[in-house]
Amino acid sequence: MATASQMDAGSIIDGLAEKFTRFLGTYSPADYVAPQIDQDGEDGTDAPASFMARTVQEMATNNETTLYVDFKHISDFDYDMADKILQHYERCEPVLRDSLKNYIRQHHEQFIKDAHGPEKEFFVGIHGLHSIDRLRDLRTEHIGRLSAFSGTVTRTSDVRPELFLGTFRCQHCATVVKNVEQFYKFTEPLVCPSASCNNRCGGMAQRSVQYGCQLVGSLGQQQLLAKQ
């Protein structure tokens, strides 16, 4: 039986994938004017008509992996979806990533992976929040929420890689476990997924996907980790 917290988590993301997929395929701001197709058809008769669909297409054709989305556009499309993303970003973010990846797989399959390589991981970067907090005003209630903050840069660190997804091989049966998400620390699979093994996995990571991250902070405060 599902716990109350599991039920709450399910209700938060319920229908989010479908709504965000429709947003990617159909949304255009009120002042958007679709580019005209020239007489030679260089823009392509199959070019997407909506603003977001064209934005996704441009990201894919430019071989980029982060889609930058204005929060106002999400709010204009579906206020309830925008509020859920704002209040429960930590739970919604994986759904947004998966929705974007599935959309690209469906509409731009040729860009889903490099030649002879694994599938790419895609990310959604949201900007244009209505309010911006000062760095020193961030509190525990901001944890898990989507926040924008400002501060004075007093020093910078090197951009360091942060493990995001890991691939492991079980030491007992050699089963490969892919895309193990890392939850703010090095995270291994708890149990081998093979029905004939069912042992704890202790393999070495064979492939990883990493973020670039940088430490930021203000004078007199503990430093915070910001993903780029």
Q: Which domains does the chain have, with CATH numbers?
A: 4-133 (3.30.1640.10), 160-227 (no CATH)
What gap in Å lies between CA 165 and CA 179, rounded to an integer? 5
Mean pLDDT by 10 residues, the chain (228 residues): 48 90 95 68 61 94 93 96 94 94 93 79 93 86 88 74 76 79 75 75 55 48 37
Give the predicted TM-score (pTM) of the model: 0.72
Coil, strand or helix at 121: coil
Structure token digits, residue 119: 């599938």
pLDDT at 77: 97
pLDDT at 228: 35
**Residue 210, φ and ψ in degrees, nearest 5:** -125, 145
pLDDT at 12: 82
- Is the alpha carbon torsion for 56, 81, 91, 1 positive or negative? negative
